[in-house]
């Protein structure tokens, strides 16, 4: 059974009161973007989040912070710090969920000179994160990235190859991201292997995070395939509660 959640990275600096509109818009849960006012390791932030959770019926998943982090950097102190911040997020998230989405790293100007080493560092980072996730009963789900050539794991084959066989590591398929590289139809046949899903719309050129139906993704095709092959949480990402409501109309039409 699909469970629609809503998430908004555009709201990380807003007052938390907006979250109460998620349930009113018909969603079963909230994916917390663990940044800005929602950094889980800040006691005052975590307290506010817990207040919302206890006063609603929202289920919870978490998106780990990613700004200025790089799990594939050749800069050793930054590499270790990136792993530390992801693991810290997992530690706190484990109190409220068992799913955390994480971003892969990217090729820095120096990394472009040693691409094989970059991929190896990403793999080693996942082994460390996966071990930590298992210890905290969490599945850390690596997400496919947008159409910027420096990002790792844009293609389904890259995402599958990077995560295969690593305990504690799953996959988040993001169909909005896939559309920015024209690969929605390549991810769809593999959707049953995903541990978590993100959906949002765009025009295939950039990561616009539009409401469903406002871009070029064929939601009839996507919705029917996901509904037949996947069960679990599906996070609709957007910029506002108004867009959440608009997306929910399309979701109810095409997702069983």
Number of domains comprising the chain: 1
Provide the domain limits for residue 242. Answer: 2-254
List, for residues 124-163, the tens digit of each pLDDT value.
Answer: 999 999 999 999 999 999 999 999 999 999 999 999 999 9
**60: β partners:** 30
Q: What's the pTM?
A: 0.97
Pairwise CA distance, residues 41 & 10, whole Å: 20
Interatomic CA distance for residues 168 and 132, integer angstroms: 8
Count the residues in the chain. 256
**Dmax over Cα atoms in the chain, in whole Å?**
51
- Residue 76 belongs to domain with CATH number: 3.20.20.150
Token digits of residue 105: 């790293």
Q: Which residue has the tokens 């969603």?
A: 27
User: What is the pLDDT confidence band of residue 41, given thresholds at 50, 70 and 90?
Assistant: very high
Burial of residue 46, with CB atoms counted within 10 A of its CB: 0-12 exposed, 13-18 middle, 19 or more buried: middle
């Amino acid at each position: 059974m699909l469970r629609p959640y809503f998430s908004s990275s555009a709201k990380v600096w807003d007052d938390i009161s907006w979250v109460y509109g998620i349930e009113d818009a018909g969603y079963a849960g909230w994916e917390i973007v663990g940044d800005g006012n929602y950094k889980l390791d800040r006691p005052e932030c975590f307290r506010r989040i817990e207040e919302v959770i206890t006063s609603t019926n929202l289920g919870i998943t978490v998106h780990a912070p990613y700004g200025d982090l790089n799990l594939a950097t050749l800069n050793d102190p930054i590499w270790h710090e990136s792993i530390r911040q992801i693991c810290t997020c997992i530690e706190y998230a484990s109190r409220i969920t068992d799913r955390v989405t994480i971003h892969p790293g990217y090729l820095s100007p120096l990394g472009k000179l040693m691409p094989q080493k970059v991929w190896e560092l990403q793999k080693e980072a996942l082994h460390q994160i996966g071990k930590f996730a298992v210890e905290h009963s969490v599945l850390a789900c690596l997400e496919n990235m947008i159409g910027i050539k420096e990002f790792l794991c844009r293609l389904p084959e890259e995402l599958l190859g990077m995560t295969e066989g690593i305990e504690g590591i799953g996959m988040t398929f993001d169909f909005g991201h896939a559309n920015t590289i024209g690969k929605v139809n390549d991810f769809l046949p593999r959707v049953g292997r995903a541990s978590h899903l993100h959906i949002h719309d765009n025009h295939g050129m950039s990561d616009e995070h539009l409401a469903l139906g406002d871009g070029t993704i064929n939601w009839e095709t996507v919705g029917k395939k996901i509904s037949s092959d996947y069960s679990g949480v599906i996070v609709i990402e957007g910029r506002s509660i108004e867009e959440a409501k608009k997306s929910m109309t399309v979701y109810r039409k095409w997702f069983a």
